[in-house]
Amino acid sequence: MSDMHQHSVAYVRETMLPEAPPPAREQGIIKWMRENLFANVPNSILTIASIVVIYYILAASLPWLLNGIWNAESIRDCREILQGAAGGCFAVLTERWNQLLFGFQYPDDQYWRPLIAFLLLFVAIAPVMFFKYIPSQFLLFTALYPFLAYWLIWGGLILAPIVALVGFVVGYFVWGRLVQRSFATGFFGAVAAAVIVWWIGGLITAGMDPEQAMLVPVASRDMGGFMLNLILGTVCVSLSIPIGIALALGRQSSMPIIKWICVVFIEFIRGVPLITLLFVANVVLAYFFPPGTNFDLIIRVIIMITAFASAYIAEVIRGGLAALPTGQYEAADSLGLDYAQAMRLIILPQALKISIPGIVNVAVGLFKDTTLVSVISMFDLVGMIRGPILASTEWNGVYWELFGFAALLFFVVCYGISQYSQWLERELTTDHK
């Protein structure tokens, strides 16, 4: 009996075995490939087909890139150097980089001005984009940047941007004093005060000698290249977001006049192509001003592009407002908040968070649509390529290199905007899973 019991008891190990490495197929690159590239038969077929396509693309493009010519004075010199071999003529970029970036009329010795304005742009938008990590005191420079950037790029008397800044400051203080009576009183009082300051400042600057300017004046017609796309994109996106918010709120207003003004504006602008609005800015607007009035073309284009983008952003934000449950509005009412406080503290923060993908989509599309100004004879990046550069005898026939460079610049900017929006969504998330 004892022998039977002795043989029926299993052996129990008292010490642990040393850890063994996982199988090769369950770790490292092999595991990643199994899970992402060869998880099943359809995925494996798609992976193999993609590898074949990538191979043929690289086989055709790499020799053209690696054998590219960077030092030549014309396309004929590139062809003589290549001797029939595959290779890109990238010398056009080294020869005409200044025209591609700044246009062909911006003074060569003043390139440092838009470069400084571009670098300061990152300093100015940092407190807005990374508000959780940068103190709010830096927003003062953000408010000053538009006037500083205008003076750097356009030059002229520094008194002009100072007068513009003073007008906004006076309007802000008038708004703060009168808005307690009513919104309309504060708004129209602020506008009137700012206009008076600008009118007085215009009279003062008109009597000053332009030769006293610290920076050489540069006319808007001399702006061009990618610099013009950045100016239009940055200014129009910055203006269209607050205007779009106001239009979205106005469309939901209980006051019929304000509601229908916003509805008519949004539906009309959304029903008209942007290129039509640009032609209106270039030709038609001149008929609405007194004879001899010189209204800057860039300002006219900014007005039209901003109006176009504002209508689309207004609809995006209206969708965010509609997505909020009714309980949020009721919660604001239960706290005793008025309309302005409820929108600023409860409703708009949530609606804007929901609307981030749509707003970014409009912003990216708007920045790319700035190339349409080339159809009204404004020499932006695409206008420079299609006009002075390809029309020259030295580089007539160079297409892939120039348009590839333009595509690269726009991709870097648009991809950066997209990545920032995804980061911002992660920062603002309140879901804890």
For 64-128, give the secondary structure using H, E and C.
Answer: HHHCCECCCCCHHHHHHHHCCCCCCECHHHHHHHHHHHHCCCCCHHHCHHHHHHHHHHHHHHHHH
As a whole number of angstroms, the distance between CA 240 and CA 366 comes to 10
CB neighbour class for 266 (10 Å; exposed up to 12, middle 13-18, buried from 19): buried
As a whole number of angstroms, the distance between CA 416 and CA 419 comes to 5
The pLDDT assigned to 199 comes to: 87
The pLDDT assigned to 347 comes to: 85
Which phi and psi (to 5°) does residue 157 adopt?
-70, 135
The pLDDT assigned to 367 comes to: 92
What is the model's pTM? 0.84
The pLDDT assigned to 114 comes to: 92
As a whole number of angstroms, the distance between CA 355 and CA 319 comes to 7
Going from the N-terminus, what domains does the chain have, and what CATH number goes with each? Answer: 19-64 (no CATH), 156-214 (no CATH), 220-428 (1.10.3720.10)
Q: What is the pLDDT along the chain (433 residues), one digit of tens a residue?
A: 455 555 555 667 777 878 777 776 666 788 888 888 888 888 899 999 999 999 999 988 888 888 888 888 888 988 888 887 888 889 899 998 999 999 888 888 899 999 999 999 999 999 888 888 888 888 889 999 999 999 999 988 888 888 888 888 888 888 888 877 766 677 788 888 888 988 888 788 776 766 667 788 888 888 889 999 999 999 999 999 999 998 998 888 888 888 899 999 999 998 989 888 888 888 877 777 766 667 778 888 898 899 999 999 999 999 888 888 888 877 887 887 777 778 888 888 888 888 888 999 999 999 999 999 888 878 889 989 988 888 888 888 888 889 999 999 999 999 999 999 888 888 887 665 4
The pLDDT assigned to 3 comes to: 54
| pLDDT one-digit tens code per residue, 73-95 | 888 988 888 887 888 889 899 99
Buried (b) or exposed (e) across 300-336, using 16+ Cβ within 10 A?
A: bbbbbbbbbbbbbbbbbbbebbeeeeeeeeeebeeee
The pLDDT assigned to 117 comes to: 93
Helices (H), 111-224: 112-129, 139-154, 159-178, 183-206
The pLDDT assigned to 343 comes to: 81
The pLDDT assigned to 427 comes to: 84
Which phi and psi (to 5°) does residue 133 adopt?
-115, -10
Q: Which residues pair with 89 in a beta bridge?
A: 69
User: Which residue, chain included where needed, has tokens 């077929």?
Assistant: 45
The pLDDT assigned to 432 comes to: 52
The pLDDT assigned to 54 comes to: 94
The pLDDT assigned to 314 comes to: 93
Contact 332, 350 (CB under 8 A): no
Tokens of 273: 């192509």
